[in-house]
Amino acid sequence: MSFSLPRKSLSEELERFTGYLTTYRHTANLRITEGVKYFAQHAKAIWFLDGLSSPKIIGIDDYISVSFISKNQKASIVARGCEGQVLYEEVNIPTDCIDMHERFYLHSNEFGGKTLMLPAEY
């Protein structure tokens, strides 16, 4: 008889990423934390990072909360400012990502760009 532990969901896996010391350059203007890198690779969502690298997002001089929602092979990205106002929204993006809802924070970094992180990494 073999015993195996149930596989954790990706959302549960992301809970292990807290704080951050290491960032990775995704583009010249966007750095990502280890947790975000793990998310993008395991959710098949590298394209999500490309979308957040656009001048529409990087050019916003504000602290940004980003929601990523994927369901039934469609995804949505909603970026909100510190007062809850929608700064950027893209919906019905075709994707092969797993169904999930995750939140991220995007803020200015010391390199003149933005850093994307999970809430627990903030």
Tell me the pLDDT tens digit for each residue of 17-30.
998 889 999 998 89
- Identify the CATH class of 22-121: alpha beta
Per-residue pLDDT tens digits for 8-18: 789 999 999 99
Say yes or no to pLDDT of 103 above 90. Answer: yes
Ramachandran bin of 121, using left for φ above 0, alpha for ψ from -120 to 50, beta for the remaining angles: alpha
pLDDT band at 6 (very low <50, low <70, confident <90, very high): low
Say yes or no to pLDDT of 56 above 80. Answer: no
pLDDT at position 5, please?
44
pLDDT at position 121, please?
94
Q: Rounded mean pLDDT of 85-114? A: 90
For residue 46, what are the CA distances in angstroms to 61, 84, 85, 86?
24, 26, 26, 23
For residue 104, how far is the Cα from the chain centroid? 5
Q: Are strands 100-108 and 86-94 parallel, antiparallel or unpaired?
A: unpaired
pLDDT at position 98, please?
85
Block residue for tokens 């280890």: 34
Q: List the structure tokens of 55.
A: 């001048």
Say yes or no to pLDDT of 90 above 50. Answer: yes
pLDDT at position 4, please?
46
Are 20 and 33 in contact by the 8 Å Cβ rule? The answer is yes
Contacts of 5 (CB under 8 A, 6+ apart): none
Every domain of the chain and the residues it spans: 22-121
pLDDT at position 55, please?
81
> Which residues make beta-bridge pairs with 100?
70
